[in-house]
Amino acid sequence: MQSQMKYAILWITVCIALCNSRASAEHLVLDADTQINLPSGFDAELLYEVPASQGSWVAMAFDPKGRLIVSDQDDKGVFRLTLTETEGAGVRVEHLEGFPYLPINWGRRRVGGALGFLYAFDSLYMSSMKGFYRIRDTDGDDTFDEFTLLKQLGVGYEHSAHSI
């Protein structure tokens, strides 16, 4: 009897979850400009499309000035995006130098870039497949100049390094 009750509760939970996911998907509207499915009443604006030369961005964090720090997971590096107030919304993209790159050879891919970022306590924290780093601008010139390995990490699966 107790086993049947467990299965009944499990079945009801699955049915509710499926019904809720279907109901929420029905309220999404395809935005014609961005091709993003959005809840009714929401709008999206495409500010920047990442070119292949800048890789596949998988790590993102905002710095205290509201700029976005992003990284390719492979060998393209770290970039800083600043929204500009020219005619309409614009984006200035800078390639940032000095970030650790310790690749793991996965056949055709060499994953070694930042996989996770967190900006906190006047520092940018970065996780990669091989390490966890504290990154700082020590002289206030808006350039990261100190890269400290806080913890060496063993080779794991890529997704484990995304979270900080």
pLDDT in tens, the chain (164 residues): 555 555 555 556 655 665 555 545 568 888 888 888 888 888 888 888 899 999 989 899 999 999 999 998 888 999 999 988 765 568 899 999 988 877 777 666 667 788 889 999 999 999 888 888 999 999 999 999 999 999 988 766 566 666 67
Match 């970030």 to its residue by tokens: 99
Strands 90-96 and 78-84: antiparallel
The DSSP-derived string for 117-159 is EEEETTEEEEE-SSEEEEEE-SSSSSS--EEEEEEE-----GG
Q: Which residues pair with 105 in a beta bridge?
A: 110
| pTM of this structure | 0.73
